Structure 1
């Protein structure tokens, strides 16, 4: 029970702040308190301390409780912000996403085969016939895009797609870079692989894996590839040259979709890591956006020794955790404490209105695609 005295004194000390002055509560010296042969004095001292502590607590309990609690929470926050946390790693594992059972004796074809994009006249004719049969409904008056894609705007898109879109020109443009295909975990994976055309003698290009997201595809990188592979031609640093690999996520573009349930970002990360090894790269750089951000981040957690650098233009925020909760709770009132700027506060708060409510209102597609993707996909068969 020897801690009761200091605790009571601390309560009095905290509670005694009045109008800028500390009310001093004198305590017997440690020599007198511990001196042998004075049991009555020591007993009276403890009783007086307990009584003074109770009186101080009853009179000043909000301050005497809230101040230590605030100090404690501040200590937790400082420790959370400045104490290093062990990086989380992800097991690589293995998988098979092809049709049927995984062959036990036959080894997977590890060849990287040339791939050419082709669109036949029959496919274009069939598309035109289906577009001609499209039946449009009238949008609600003054609804704009409040309930999704406005049907009047959709009609303009279909008209352009049917009458003005040049398929042959698009195919020629897409084939400007070399395309390849290779089989990994039972799936045919499509990639474009662009090497720098004009490396200086002795210069080495940096391998860069770029992964798209939804609803994009590999084509979103076409305009940036020349800046990465031919920087000097565009007025950029000629010493920083990249060799670019852009795969299509399985199920996107020209990559085969999984035949099994459960294909996720970890599986895609593993497939793309195996792809880089197959192309001869044990170390490489990563860039990703949207789902590509999650896939490339997963690769860096799965094989950190192989990742020389990671750049993402989309951040996946964790949904829970004490740190996340405290950041949101304190960010509006103490933004500097949790690393927020005034612009961050303006964008985030009021949090429920600008984030949760807006997310629920605009994420209907996400719930449908995550739970019943076949129901949505089969609409395009008719």
Structure 2
């Protein structure tokens, strides 16, 4: 019996010898896939959209021309504005309320008086027209933007396109002071290295001189797609992005949508993803039993005053955000 078992044992050992490398290879492959998937860029489908009035035309190509645009006003428009400012009526503010219940009407009267009697609207129009303005039609709506190129490019310098996107409540005008530093750094005593930028500052649809969407469902992903189309229409295949506030979300979506087109992304506001149920429960338990969720005393000392303060401020100061997010057609 012993002699008969030897071949079987030998046969089993041969099978085990063959299985070990196969199992190791399989486990190794799974491990490599897991490690690579952790660092995989989460992309967004570009898709397409139509935000113009009525149904999207079935035939014909959209007008892709770039049209010069100039900001204009008239004495008649300014007189009409003055008349409406003069006819404004105010309710007295609550005593001692300051700005805790909203914009203080006593202060508002001073602001309106400045608009009516001191602000030079014609001069402001001249300031706004300092840089070249353009419009182009994308997905059925007119998109406004300024496009500033460097007047002089030193030998050996590379000109890089930079798209800068504003937020709420803001506009393309936010970037007027920094544009010369980006397009002509040497003139302002800056060492730009080997890089000079040409700057494109669009108005988000519905802001400034960009047409507002006529259809429901417009979001930051739609704005990101439109701005990619804008840069492509201007002849750029790769470009840098900068964004703050809603511009931060839009440019982040642009980088997620076409990462191969985005050479660099600069943000001055970071949107943090959802905590998730597990993280939320950990934060809640951490205030009472920090050791249970792995928090130290120093973590508690730093974390919870910050959360309490910011959650309170968020609830106190974000009423406008809830209205805009849920009832954007509400006037006010």
1:228 corresponds to:
182
2:49 corresponds to:
95
1:192 corresponds to:
146
Distance 1:344 1:110 in 2: 56
Distance 1:329 1:362 in 2: 23
Alignment length (residue pairs) = 292
Larger Rg belongs to = 1
Unaligned 5+ runs, structure 2? 1-36
Does the 8 Å contact 1:331/1:345 carry over to 2?
no
Please, what TM-score do these two structures have when normalized by structure 1? 0.71
**Structure 1 outlier segments of 4+, above 6 Å:** 329-334, 342-345
1:282 aligns to 2:205 (yes or no): no
1:272 aligns to 2:227 (yes or no): yes
2:271 corresponds to:
316
Structure-to-structure mapping, 1:1-382, within 5 angstroms: 84-238=38-192, 239-321=194-276, 324-325=279-280, 328=283, 346=302, 348-376=303-331, 379=332
Distance 2:151 2:283 in 1: 49
| Superposition deviation, residue 137 in structure 1 | 1.3
Distance 1:308 1:323 in 2: 35
| Superposition deviation, residue 173 in structure 1 | 0.6
Judged with a 3 Å threshold, the aligned counterparts in structure 2 of structure 1 residues 232 and 322 are, in CA distance, closer, same or farther, namely farther
Deviations 1:282-319 (A, max 9, x none): 00000000000000000000000000000000111222
| Superposition deviation, residue 204 in structure 1 | 2.3
Q: Cα RMSD between the aligned structures?
A: 2.6
| Superposition deviation, residue 125 in structure 1 | 0.8
Report 1 or 2 for greater relative contact order, CA contacts < 8 Å, sequence distance ≥ 6: 2
Unaligned 5+ runs, structure 1? 1-82
Does the 8 Å contact 2:158/2:195 carry over to 1?
no
Does the 8 Å contact 1:214/1:291 carry over to 2?
yes
Judged with a 3 Å threshold, the aligned counterparts in structure 2 of structure 1 residues 331 and 230 are, in CA distance, closer, same or farther, namely farther
Please, what TM-score do these two structures have when normalized by structure 2? 0.82
